[in-house]
Amino acid sequence: MTDSHKHAGHAHGTGRSAEVAGVSDSRLLWAVVLNQLLTVGQVVAGLFSGSVALLSDAAHNFNDANALLIAYIARRISKKDANQRYTFGYRRAEMIGALINLTLLAVIGLYLVYEGVKRLIQPEEILGRVMAATAVLALVIDVGTALLLRSMSHGSLNVRAAFIHNIVDALGSVAVLIGAGAIIWLGWTWVDPAITFLIAGYVLWQVFQMLPQATRVLLEGTPAGLDLDRLVATVEQISGVEGMHHVHVWELDEQHRALEAHIVVQEGSPAELMAIRQRIKQTLADEFEVRHSTLEFEYAGIGEDCPDQQMIADH
């Protein structure tokens, strides 16, 4: 079977597929439901109490709940077999969802900064006790979700990241609770927009950290951290390789890298070409984590235009 035909079915990877397979879908779904309910509750309480900090924390929880939801949906979709219409399978479903989520979150984050500035200029009355009660509820749900995910985090890198996010959420709830105390007992209404800036800043920082990654994968950019010049130089040092060009490296998703390239060789027997092919593939996998490669062999001195009839296709 050719490599091009194996696009759909192979599962080269870093072990994440096996790790995620052991994670309970029902637990993940409960974590999604709890966080979405918390987001709705915080929005209602934030509007009722006049606290922008609560709305900021709701935005952060909204991000984490959606990240969990995307992980859940992507896991379900990823179980679908590749087909003639989607020969690569459905690996990028998570990236598309993440891009939508991050774009929406960026808009929300910027809006919260605007609201924070507005509240600093024109302070409004804040119901500190409602703010405090909601912060306590959020803290309980954040800790509960973290406990729900804790045992799962050992079997999934994706869930482990979500577990860490929930710990950060709990710290955010503590900050809102402290702010509520400052408003109730000291009358420091400025604390509310100050907390808003901190949470909104963290949310926007997350967006600008993750957005380039999602965009790069969807645009089939070179994987981050991969030195293309070093890759070419390394392959060209392999015995039997005269040159390497028309190189394209991209990511199918966060865990799967792919490469296609033309390899210049001297004429040789099929067995010799197969040996060169195997050495190249092993080097790409071991040194650059590229476990899927489509290579086309050209005989040295044939010409630079590489017409198909002058090449030996090795898929």
User: Residue 26: is its pLDDT beyond 50?
Assistant: yes
User: How far apart are alpha carbons 205 and 224 in whole angstroms?
Assistant: 19
User: Residue 18: is its pLDDT beyond 60?
Assistant: no
Q: Give the model confidence (pLDDT) of 202-219 as tens digits.
A: 878 878 888 888 888 888
User: For residues 234 and 309, which has the higher predicted lDDT (pLDDT)?
Assistant: 234
Average pLDDT over residues 103-125: 81
**Per-chain mean pLDDT for the chain:** 78
Please report, for residues 75, 134, 185, 248, the alpha-carbon distance to residue 201 in angstroms, rounded to integers and kept in the order given: 30, 21, 27, 37
User: For residues 29 and 219, which has the higher predicted lDDT (pLDDT)?
Assistant: 219
Q: Which amino acid is at 26?
A: S
User: How far apart are alpha carbons 281 and 273 in whole angstroms?
Assistant: 12
Q: What is residue 6's predicted lDDT score, i.e. its pLDDT?
A: 41
Q: What is residue 15's predicted lDDT score, i.e. its pLDDT?
A: 36
DSSP E strands in 89-226: the ranges are: none
Length of the chain: 315
Residue 95 has which token pair?
Answer: 């990236």
Stretch among 82-86, 116-120, 159-163, 237-241 having the lowest mean pLDDT? 159-163
Q: What percent of the chain has pLDDT over 70?
A: 79
CB 247 within 8 Å of CB 228: yes
Q: Give the model confidence (pLDDT) of 248-295 as tens digits.
A: 999 887 778 999 999 999 888 889 999 999 999 999 999 999 999 999
Give the residue from 62, 32, 66, 31 showing the smallest Cα distance to 199.
Answer: 62
What is the rounded radius of gyration, in angstroms, for the C-alpha atoms of the chain? Answer: 26
0.75 exceeded by pTM: no
- The domains located in the chain, with CATH, are 5-218 (1.20.1510.10), 228-314 (3.30.70.1350)
